[in-house]
Structure 1
Amino acid sequence: MNRYLNLHKLLTVNSVLLVRDADGRPKETPFGTARRTMLSPQTQRRADRTHMRDQANTGRGPLADYAFGCRTREWARLTAAALKSQHKWKEEEAALTARTALQGLNISFGTKGSTADLTKVMIFAPESAATQLAAALNEHAEAVRAWMSDVASARTRQEESKKNKSKGKKKAAAAEEEQPAAAEEAAQDAEAAESKELPALPAELRKKMLLALAPADAIDIALFGRFLAEVNHSPNVDGALQNMPAITVGRAAGTEDFFSAADDAKLARQRATPPADLSTLDFLEAIDPFPADGSSGDHQGAGMTGYQHFVSGTFYAHAVLDRYQLRVNLRRAGMEADKAEQAARAAEAAYMDAFCNAVPEAKKTTTAAPGTLPKLVLAHSSDRQHNYVTCFEDAINENTTVASIEATRRLLNQHALISRKCALEPGAVLTYDLAITELLDELRAAGRLQPREVDRPDQLTDATADVAAVPA
């Protein structure tokens, strides 16, 4: 196998908002001859990762028997819940111990009441991490409680040190002119007191907690990687997947959709039959939106109005799977060579399915975006990465041609050029679109279609030939 699996996708969407910027507007980026609508890499990666996890959690696909990771700020809460439910710890002690023990690993927490038990950054760890953390804390319960007592004492000393420092600053300010040396000495003492850290976790407990947070056999951590700078000696993982921001092949095209939402209670009241003892005229006056007394009345207007943004277009998306890095990550997680090879092939098959089927789910109930299938997927392997975005530098004019058809022609022509100059294998293409199917038939009849056409994602590479097909 070549080291890199190169994937290219054309995805056509209509009136969606798959990702938005800080102002709630579609993301855009300048490229070539026009500004383009953009899908950020993290948006695509999130869709791919959750697609694979959801497939596996329901017993489908090649990763059904593999573990996955969980990226969250709630590890203290999850660990406390496991201590309470599995080891019968009291709720208050479990919550305080879980949070403090994670702080002992140098993990920072929020400072406000609502975030006090949430880590400052999301931590990507195996789904079983909370259970393993709780088991480690319970196994060393006696040492943990002794350590917690030391922590309480240390924090009391730190609080006293802060108070003394505050007093020391006032005294130093007053004595600085008369006794500069004494003032400097007081400042140094306060700084030394403030720099004291929490007592070190018991060595065996620390080792087991680090093991619980280690990537282990979480297949999505091996694929997507993780960076955990806060925890010393907890391994970071270089991701095996690379993703380009997806951009439209034509000029950014969006619309501001004005919406109005009805107030059901108001409508029901306005449609009610007049009471028997009230004349029709009196009833109409009772719901007059502009009553004579100047009150607000029962307005006929909508309950809420506003604007929402939608975009349409054909996106070019590109991803690369580093097969070597994936196997390195799995081996470093403790897998034997043959199991790592099997897991890597299963992960490749699952990712191929996600690349072809996963769509970001933003506004899914009002756009049905997850039901969209790609116009074209091109897959080929080589000894280096190949990004074909440059063939869309000149934006396609969607007023004169069908963007997805023209984009398919450009993409296949670019692949033919690079294949000839870099001696690449032809690869394979997959389409779910009738018009693209007819174009491929036309190119095949003319002897201009090099990649083979396949019907399923798992057929896009030979590396997944011995992996079970992903059920529909």
Structure 2
Amino acid sequence: MNNDAATRYLSLHSITNFAHVLLVRDDAGEPKTSPFGNAERVILSPQSQRRADRMHLRDEANLGTGPLAAHAWGVRTREWALRVAEALRDEHGWEAQAALEMARTSLRGLGLNFGSTPNTAFLTKVMVFAPEATGSTLAQVIQERRVEMEAWATAVADATAAAAKAKSRKKGKGKTAPAVEVEAEDREAEGPQGEGEAAARDEKMPPMPARAKARLICGLAPADAIDIALYGRFLAEVASAGNVDGAIQTTTSFSVEPAAIVRDFFSAADDFKIARQRLGTDFTDALSRLNAAAPFDAPEHEASDGYALDDRGAGMTGYQNFFNGSFYAHSVLDRVQLRRNLTNGGMDPGHAERAAQDAERAFVTAFVNAVPSAKKNTTAAPGTLPKLVLAHAGPRPYNYAAVFEKAIHRHEGVPSLIAAERLLQHHAMITRKQHIDPGAVLSYDIDTITYLDNLRDAGKLGPTEVDQPAELSPYCPAGQPA
């Protein structure tokens, strides 16, 4: 296990240029911005970056190409009741509706709350991050203890019905007729599950059999899910299920130059309208109009349903914002926390060490390659690679955001290249004063590579230049493919 305090934290920094994109939006559909230093900046939220990284890790594993292909994964969803019910039906022969009700009641017994409308009655109110096999695991526990679980579920249903009836009688006293009707309509819209959920909040649910509950909680434990070990999880509703402190820290990415947001006018073509335009104008209609006794009473060209067809202009027009800029991004991997999470999940130390090394190589590769998808067909940045990536280890995280407190203006030169120079100069100073290893650097930009060559020739390039993302981690020998 890597217990070296001097290299506990792996700090990753990048400078990436994005052109004409809208990678994240606020609640009004606008690019997110924030004041920093002497200028307003465009920002990319940590959540969007973390999801892009996590999906990159999983997609590679699903294709069998990444270091994590052989590892177990977690799933973040509100649909665990549906997955448990599916396993009860398919693996243990339960009737579909009975399986749904048992799955929902069981998760409620653990402390999870469900939605109050017909569409959300079987969806938990919070997303639960659990191993992908959790549906089958919980279904197996329920099946093995079916007799006592069904008896408990019946007691829950009776208590819920009694509470709902008592609540209805209490509300009915002293109410006028219209008020009662409104409440009845609300309950009807809420649906039978929603009414039961409200009643359960007023009436304490009978406790689940202790042994069954303990085993179900164990089924929600993080186990060996590699992405839970990396990103952590917090499940306040079922505290004993095992909260996990994430091993990865992600900061908000921001433009190193003042926000450059463009309001783009767009028009969309209507295919049928374009087809009619290509046929041209039928001038015989004009002749018939001239020959008519009352020209304005002459028939217009009409569609088969009687509506006049207008061939003028575009099918639809509107506005959409996008932004340009070079962005600084920063993430940190706590190597000790990652190994702790894996061993707490049940891995032996040897297996945990191998898994941690695989996870680090995969995460570094995702940091280099993953980009938030946004509206991926029109305003995303597929295939974008960083101008510069810097990786180095130390006894604490090192965030270099302060280097860009003074925004870079276009009249000073190419912002991304100036940002790369600032970043490396700052890192050289930190390396000297903090006595940390200079690490490794990777670039996919010709001008930046030329700058690195000049530093190397002058004996001033501290980090080792590498050609593959995974080589930024010491667990990938030089020359080995990512």
**3-state SS of the aligned residue for 2:214?**
helix
Counterparts of 1:37-436 in structure 2 under 5 Å? 37-166=42-171, 195-272=202-279, 279=284, 281=286, 297-367=309-379, 369-436=381-448
Separation in 2, partners of 1:286, 1:449: 80
Give 1:226 deviation, angstroms: 0.5
**3-state SS of the aligned residue for 1:378?**
strand
**3-state SS of the aligned residue for 1:154?**
helix
**3-state SS of the aligned residue for 2:26?**
coil
Give 1:196 deviation, angstroms: 3.3
Give 1:139 deviation, angstroms: 2.1
Question: Quick one: structure 1 residues 250 and 155, their matched pair in 2 at CA, closer, same or farther if it must change by over 3 Å?
Answer: same
Separation in 1, partners of 2:106, 2:240: 16
Question: Quick one: structure 1 residues 468 and 434, their matched pair in 2 at CA, closer, same or farther if it must change by over 3 Å?
Answer: closer
Contact 2:260 2:325 (C-alpha < 8 Å) held by counterparts:
yes
Give 1:409 deviation, angstroms: 0.5
TM-score by length of 2: 0.87
Separation in 1, partners of 2:371, 2:315: 32
Give 1:74 deviation, angstroms: 1.0
Give 1:163 deviation, angstroms: 2.7
Contact 2:13 2:390 (C-alpha < 8 Å) held by counterparts:
yes
Separation in 2, partners of 1:194, 1:387: 46
| 1:204 maps to amino acid | R
Unpaired segments of 5 or more residues in structure 2? 176-198, 290-297
Separation in 1, partners of 2:64, 2:300: 57
**3-state SS of the aligned residue for 1:372?**
coil
**3-state SS of the aligned residue for 1:151?**
helix
Question: Quick one: structure 1 residues 4 and 286, their matched pair in 2 at CA, closer, same or farther if it must change by over 3 Å?
Answer: farther
Separation in 2, partners of 1:265, 1:193: 56
| Structure-1 residue corresponding to 2:19 | 14
| 2:139 maps to amino acid | A
Unpaired segments of 5 or more residues in structure 1? 171-191
Question: Quick one: structure 1 residues 283 and 144, their matched pair in 2 at CA, closer, same or farther if it must change by over 3 Å?
Answer: farther
Separation in 1, partners of 2:478, 2:212: 42
| 2:423 maps to amino acid | L
Q: CA RMSD in A?
A: 2.5
Separation in 2, partners of 1:213, 1:115: 21
- What percent identity do the matched residue pairs reach? 51
| 2:155 maps to amino acid | D
**Cα deviation digits, residues 331-389 of structure 1 (max 9, x gap):** 11111111111111110000010001001111221245121000000000000111001
Contact 2:388 2:444 (C-alpha < 8 Å) held by counterparts:
yes
| Structure-1 residue corresponding to 2:452 | 440
Contact 1:61 1:468 (C-alpha < 8 Å) held by counterparts:
no
Separation in 2, partners of 1:469, 1:283: 75
**3-state SS of the aligned residue for 1:233?**
helix
Contact 1:56 1:65 (C-alpha < 8 Å) held by counterparts:
yes
| 1:261 maps to amino acid | A
**Cα deviation digits, residues 45-93 of structure 1 (max 9, x gap):** 0000000011111111110000111111111112212222222221111
Question: Quick one: structure 1 residues 371 and 138, their matched pair in 2 at CA, closer, same or farther if it must change by over 3 Å?
Answer: same
Give 1:13 deviation, angstroms: 0.6
Contact 2:360 2:473 (C-alpha < 8 Å) held by counterparts:
no
| 2:328 maps to amino acid | Y
| 1:135 maps to amino acid | Q
**3-state SS of the aligned residue for 1:334?**
coil
Question: Quick one: structure 1 residues 193 and 343, their matched pair in 2 at CA, closer, same or farther if it must change by over 3 Å?
Answer: closer
Separation in 2, partners of 1:466, 1:81: 47
Contact 1:62 1:467 (C-alpha < 8 Å) held by counterparts:
no
Contact 1:62 1:468 (C-alpha < 8 Å) held by counterparts:
no
Question: Quick one: structure 1 residues 127 and 50, their matched pair in 2 at CA, closer, same or farther if it must change by over 3 Å?
Answer: same
**3-state SS of the aligned residue for 1:356?**
helix
**3-state SS of the aligned residue for 2:325?**
strand
Question: Quick one: structure 1 residues 60 and 358, their matched pair in 2 at CA, closer, same or farther if it must change by over 3 Å?
Answer: same
| 1:79 maps to amino acid | V
Question: Quick one: structure 1 residues 193 and 436, their matched pair in 2 at CA, closer, same or farther if it must change by over 3 Å?
Answer: closer
| 2:406 maps to amino acid | D
**3-state SS of the aligned residue for 1:5?**
strand
Contact 1:71 1:123 (C-alpha < 8 Å) held by counterparts:
yes
| Structure-2 residue corresponding to 1:461 | 473
| Structure-1 residue corresponding to 2:184 | none
**3-state SS of the aligned residue for 2:355?**
helix
Question: Quick one: structure 1 residues 311 and 12, their matched pair in 2 at CA, closer, same or farther if it must change by over 3 Å?
Answer: same
Question: Quick one: structure 1 residues 297 and 147, their matched pair in 2 at CA, closer, same or farther if it must change by over 3 Å?
Answer: same
Separation in 2, partners of 1:416, 1:279: 80
Give 1:467 deviation, angstroms: 12
**Cα deviation digits, residues 225-269 of structure 1 (max 9, x gap):** 111001141111001111110000000101111111111123334
Give 1:193 deviation, angstroms: 10
| Structure-2 residue corresponding to 1:176 | none
Separation in 2, partners of 1:86, 1:157: 34
**3-state SS of the aligned residue for 2:10?**
strand
**3-state SS of the aligned residue for 1:160?**
helix
| Structure-1 residue corresponding to 2:196 | none
| Structure-2 residue corresponding to 1:181 | none
Give 1:133 deviation, angstroms: 1.5
**3-state SS of the aligned residue for 1:76?**
helix
**3-state SS of the aligned residue for 2:116?**
coil
Give 1:280 deviation, angstroms: 5.4
Separation in 2, partners of 1:223, 1:75: 21
